[in-house]
Amino acid sequence: MINTEKSIAYIALGSNLGNRGGNINKALAYLEAVSGLELVKISSIIETIPLGGPEGQGMYFNAVCKIATELTPWELLDVLLETENRLGRIRTEKDGPRTIDLDILLYNNEIIRQGDKLVIPHPRMASRRFVLELMAEIAPEVVHPELNASMIELLDKYDNGE
């Protein structure tokens, strides 16, 4: 019997090169066209300062989307990397400027550690206010599987310096 139950994942999108909003919209369109992947909900797009990386980078546009998918986490990662390539992402330095950055934040309630290649939940999501803000916008009650707190609780803790 084939398992047709879909998994729920949350994807972070960021861009600070070129048409930032256009890059995010193109990435969403590419994802929407993938067989076995359905865009369920998309957050607002917000502008944020660069965190880490070389000085002098431009401001980022960031968003988060919720997807329902038949893809495994590894297949989803491949789709995200291919989408980055299609949009001209070139990796020259860690945390450098990019046309698009796509990261898996959560995949169901799974905890996955595959070296540096696949780490779920995203290791820095709880330390980035903009990620928590966007997650709280579209999925406030979703619980971080390692921290055992909802997105709205994590945002509240972040804002209170905890």
Is 103 part of the annotated catalytic residue set?
yes
Is 89 part of the annotated catalytic residue set?
yes
Marked catalytic residue, from 103, 124, 129, 159:
103
Marked catalytic residue, from 20, 91, 95, 98:
98
List the one residue out of 145, 1, 161 whose CA is nearest residue 73: 145
Marked catalytic residue, from 20, 101, 116, 124:
101
Contact 18, 131 (CB under 8 A): no
Helix residue ranges per DSSP H, the chain: 20-32, 73-86, 129-138, 151-159
Marked catalytic residue, from 89, 91, 116, 128:
89
Is 86 part of the annotated catalytic residue set?
no
What residues are annotated to the active site?
A: 89, 98, 101, 103
